[in-house]
Amino acid sequence: MNTPFRAPGHGRVDRDTTLSFTFDGTAYTGHPGDTLASALLANGVHHVADSIRYGRPRGVLAAGAEEPNALVQIEAPFPEPMLTATTVELYDGLVARGLSGRGRLSGEPDTARYDTMHAHCDLLVVGAGPAGLATTLAAARAGVRVILVDELPQPGGSLLGSQERIDGAPATRWVGTVLAELDDCADVRVLQRTTAFGHYDDGLVLALEKRTDHLGAAAPAHVSRQRIWRIRAQQVVYATGAHERPVAFDNNDRPGIMLAGSARTYLNRFGVLPGRQAVVFTTNDSAYPAALELAGAGTRIAAVIDAREEVPEHWRTACAERGIGIRAGHVVTGTSGIERVTRAHVAPFRQGRLGGRQGIGCDLLLVSGGWNPAVALFSQARGTLRYDGGIGAFVPAHAPDGVRTAGSAGGAFTLSGALADGVDAARQALSALGRTGGTIAVPTTAPLPDGAPTRVLWRVPSPQDGHDGQDGSKQFVDLQRDATVSDVLRATGAGLRSVEHVKRYTTIGTAHDQGRTSGVMASGIVAESLGVDVADLGPTRFRPPAVPVAFAALAGRNRGELFDPVRVTALHPWHVEHGALFEDVGQWKRPWYYPRAGETTDEAVLRECRAARTGVAMMDGSTLGKINVRGPDAGILLDRLYTNLMSTLKVGRIRYGVMCGVDGMVIDDGTVIRVAEEEFLLTTTTGNAAGILEWMEEWLQTEWPGLRVHLTSVTEHWVTIPLVGPRSRDVLALAAPGLDVGNDAFPFMSWQDTTVAGVPARVCRISFSGELAYEINVPAWYGITVWKALHTAGSAFGITPYGTETMHVLRAEKAYPIVGQDTDGTVTPQDLGMSWAVSKKKPDFVGKRSFTRAENRREDRKQLVALLPADEQVLLPEGAQIIATSSIPEPPVPMLGHVTSSYRSDALRRTFALALVRSGTRRIGETLYVPLDGRTVPVTVTDPVLFDKEGTRRDG
């Protein structure tokens, strides 16, 4: 296939191998080593996409991550949106198309793997150009642990795109020698295709390694496609290079307009001539090598337009030898062309005035407005910047500890300067590490001819100035956002004075490229417009990620089932086998209910409730938090943390307890059993186990370190099985023949160590339903044996497994609150009607003093009550508001409280709810209203305990 723009004898692509790819429906070929952009340019394709706002044709402006224009969507082999053609490595079978600013996420699940690596090093070097390689080599010779990350497929950075020489040979030979030596260093890790994108606290740098993207369909499935490196570095050197910036002039967006240095890269790295006839527009010396190298490879350079009056003698001579004319003191004012630039309009520009225009035909317009050090990561690391008027760019000023730049990232734009700076950065980093050695001789380079300073020029005045492009011409600042000089002037005209505000008003710098080619230009134009010094305005703030990173890569393996740890009890497989549906409670999977074939949720829960109230039922209560409290002062600690008295509890007995914060609000409840004279075991709400342990440790360690107590979480040591219902005693008697299950021998709120189903067990007489109930605790390893044995023993009584939904209904019928559902951190024990659980004897405990605060003694506090809807079938939504009137008044509507729990009750044969209601206790008997679906539902306020208020059922 014909690739007409491949330059013979240039470039580092492998011409012996041909790769086929498709772009916008047309088949093309390229070679290994190409990017999608270089392969398109080799085929003469400049028009990559149309712009997002104006639909103008756009081409390839740059050769790397700074590319603002050439966004593509990859369709095959795996769909991926929003990539720059300049960074997509070409592979066989690539199918892509140009994007107008917006990509489209694939509807297909991504089957690739992504993972994360953690690494530590003494020195992290970002960028494997001349400076970064010099730094790495010097540090490696000192024997420190070095990681070198570089975004390109091979090291060399800018050297890959130049014809420069080091130590008298092509620079890439030096690169090869350095790499060979680094390869032999056990403590040096070199990561190619790896882009550092974020600098965080304490030397943490995140980098994205693209491991198999370049292999296309040939990528092995067992290798992760992308990897996030979390690198913790003592010292970081940013050798991130510099980005060339364009100059704004009329219609500076046509395909065929390219940064001069990028054209040089296309020639020298990819062997591609971006055009046949070029005009070069520059404000500095760096475009001359581009012009001369392209001329040497066959591009006709129609003219070099240099905005400066003085052009160094060296470049004048070199251009004259090539027959290239230089027009000093001239600028490009605009362009012509439809799909591609065909003509550059050139005019003298002196004392701020444009002279007469002249057109020069071209199919390539190279632009260089100077270079911006790539300081995004340095700046993220809180390095400060200062404006250097000599180059018209922001350069590093003050570096934070452990961070420095090297090479052109710090403004050292010459090769010799970059190499020397790289060696110096290594010396400083080693010194900071307290290491010696590691000096290397700075490699030698050809002596540089005298240069001339850059003329800082952000934009060329437009003949359209003041007419706002009535002829359709525009001066673009941010090509991706289609934002123009007029947009910037509109922002400053509207009174905006900060570049941050202008950025948000115009969206300049907010695209995928983060304004690498537009940000400083925008600052310059704002400064000109306001008549202030750009040094005082600064650039906009740099934030991570410096390059777009896929969420899949950030998630790594933490997706799907591994997104969050899942905790299951020892009985989990049984629940699954018996068709349980599960509810997430914190990280726990708890059986929600066990529907039978054809049963609805309501039917299943009503059936489970009926079994517990009329026969026997069992549930998995293993997730209850369990904390072992041991030591001579255990009782004292519990007395101080619970509202009621625990130290008087006798061994063998159980007490319900409530914990409050110092503000007097309920934070948890549960049972406490006294295991031995100096040992208690307490339970916490499932979701609160870790928090309560931390709460107890906090008081123990920070307030009462003298108490001789140890706290141990034993939640997962035990399987806990509540056996509930009038027939529970019969079932337990069968399963524990050695245990006297009678009320006298085994009264309510006591516990016994015994044997259940042949397994040592601790059985507690606790009830969270009001029914006769036993809670059987066995070591978790034996849990499934005991569960099955109880299930078998209960089969004659129709034993029914039940889940959390039934548990909630049963406890709500008895008004046992769930902390965190019926409370919300503003509820005291008194509000819950639990004054009985608050000790009057103890001189103090956590929360007690707050009970007497005026606010907590108000009679119109919200108190826990039950609500009975007048319509016995209406189920109030939890969270529903409660009002006093049957019609909803004008807002603000006075709210009396809200529904905290709401269920259908089998025992009551109706719906009911618990609610926190202002002055609720006093309102018992009143009718209130709950707005629901555009109407109000009348509800009767009642005492919260709706079932067996006398407690006649707990002893069977």
Partner 1 sequence: MQLIACPWCGEREEIEFHYGGQAHIAYPDDPYALDDEQWAQYVFFRDNPKGPFAERWVHSAGCRRWFNALRDTVTHEFLSVHDNRAERPSRTGTAPAAQHAEGQEAGR
Using CB under 8 A, list all residues that contact partner 1: 200-202, 204, 230, 662-663, 690, 694, 697-698, 701-703, 705, 844, 848-850, 853-854
Tell me the closest approach of the beta carbon of residue 211 to partner 1, in angstroms: 23
CA torsion sign for 549, 551, 552, 554 is positive
Residue 227 backbone dihedrals phi, psi, to 5 degrees = -135, 135
Closest CA to 629 of 693, 584, 553, 687: 693
Of residues 309 and 697, the one with the C-beta less far from partner 1: 697
DSSP H helices, 797-935, are: 804-813, 848-851
Of residues 169 and 662, the one with the C-beta less far from partner 1: 662
Is residue 332 within 8 A of residue 365, CB to CB? The reply is yes
Count of residues for the chain? Answer: 956
Of residues 108 and 201, the one with the C-beta less far from partner 1: 201
Tell me the closest approach of the beta carbon of residue 854 to partner 1, in angstroms: 6
Is residue 868 within 8 A of residue 940, CB to CB? The reply is yes
Of residues 202 and 536, the one with the C-beta less far from partner 1: 202
Tell me the closest approach of the beta carbon of residue 857 to partner 1, in angstroms: 10
Of residues 202 and 859, the one with the C-beta less far from partner 1: 202
Tell me the closest approach of the beta carbon of residue 777 to partner 1, in angstroms: 25
Tell me the closest approach of the beta carbon of residue 787 to partner 1, in angstroms: 32
Of residues 856 and 940, the one with the C-beta less far from partner 1: 856
Of residues 14 and 401, the one with the C-beta less far from partner 1: 401
Tell me the closest approach of the beta carbon of residue 382 to partner 1, in angstroms: 9
Tell me the closest approach of the beta carbon of residue 565 to partner 1, in angstroms: 12
Is residue 66 within 8 A of residue 513, CB to CB? The reply is yes
Q: What is d(CA 601, CA 609) in angstroms, rounded to the nearest whole number?
A: 12
Dig out the tokens for 911 from the structure. Answer: 């719906």
DSSP H helices, 438-549, are: 485-493, 499-506, 519-530, 534-537
Of residues 843 and 925, the one with the C-beta less far from partner 1: 843
Is residue 659 within 8 A of residue 720, CB to CB? The reply is no
Tell me the closest approach of the beta carbon of residue 669 to partner 1, in angstroms: 21
Of residues 180 and 854, the one with the C-beta less far from partner 1: 854
Of residues 158 and 235, the one with the C-beta less far from partner 1: 235
Closest CA to 370 of 510, 497, 483, 520: 520
Of residues 310 and 694, the one with the C-beta less far from partner 1: 694
Q: What angle do CA 302, 308, 311 make, to 5 degrees?
A: 70
Tell me the closest approach of the beta carbon of residue 583 to partner 1, in angstroms: 26
Of residues 417 and 664, the one with the C-beta less far from partner 1: 664
Of residues 63 and 546, the one with the C-beta less far from partner 1: 546
Tell me the closest approach of the beta carbon of residue 860 to partner 1, in angstroms: 18
Tell me the closest approach of the beta carbon of residue 910 to partner 1, in angstroms: 42
Please compute, for residue 263, the number of CA atoms within 13 A of its CA located in the half-sphere on the CB side: 37
Of residues 228 and 731, the one with the C-beta less far from partner 1: 228
List C-alpha distances in Å: 469 to 879, 886, 913: 58, 64, 68
Of residues 321 and 844, the one with the C-beta less far from partner 1: 844
For residue 640, the surrounding DSSP H or E stretch is helix 634-641
Eight-state DSSP code of residue 710 = E
Of residues 75 and 716, the one with the C-beta less far from partner 1: 716
List C-alpha distances in Å: 415 to 12, 166, 433, 930: 20, 9, 27, 77
Q: What is d(CA 291, CA 324) in angstroms, rounded to the nearest whole number?
A: 9
Q: What angle do CA 13, 14, 17 make, to 5 degrees?
A: 135
Is residue 681 within 8 A of residue 653, CB to CB? The reply is no
List C-alpha distances in Å: 608 to 585, 592, 604, 723, 798: 20, 11, 6, 13, 11
Is residue 889 within 8 A of residue 842, CB to CB? The reply is no
Tell me the closest approach of the beta carbon of residue 693 to partner 1, in angstroms: 8
Of residues 662 and 895, the one with the C-beta less far from partner 1: 662
Tell me the closest approach of the beta carbon of residue 699 to partner 1, in angstroms: 8
DSSP H helices, 56-129, are: none
Of residues 350 and 853, the one with the C-beta less far from partner 1: 853
Tell me the closest approach of the beta carbon of residue 670 to partner 1, in angstroms: 20
SS3 617: strand
Tell me the closest approach of the beta carbon of residue 663 to partner 1, in angstroms: 5
Tell me the closest approach of the beta carbon of residue 661 to partner 1, in angstroms: 9
Eight-state DSSP code of residue 12 = S
Tell me the closest approach of the beta carbon of residue 384 to partner 1, in angstroms: 14
Closest CA to 781 of 752, 810, 760: 760
Q: What angle do CA 383, 389, 394 make, to 5 degrees?
A: 25
CA torsion sign for 314, 315, 317, 318 is positive
- 271's CB contacts (< 8 A; 6+ apart) are 6, 7, 8, 9, 10, 11, 12, 13, 15, 42
Eight-state DSSP code of residue 414 = S
Is residue 150 within 8 A of residue 255, CB to CB? The reply is no
Closest CA to 307 of 428, 454, 432, 450: 454
Q: What is d(CA 160, CA 164) in angstroms, rounded to the nearest whole number?
A: 9
Q: What is the 3-state secondary structure (H, E, C) of 130-151?
A: HHHHHHHHHHHHCCCCEEEECC
Pairing state between β 910-918 and 897-905 = antiparallel
Burial category of 836 from C-beta neighbours within 10 Å (exposed 0-12, middle 13-18, buried 19 and up)? exposed
Amino acid making up residue 841 = K
Tell me the closest approach of the beta carbon of residue 124 to partner 1, in angstroms: 15
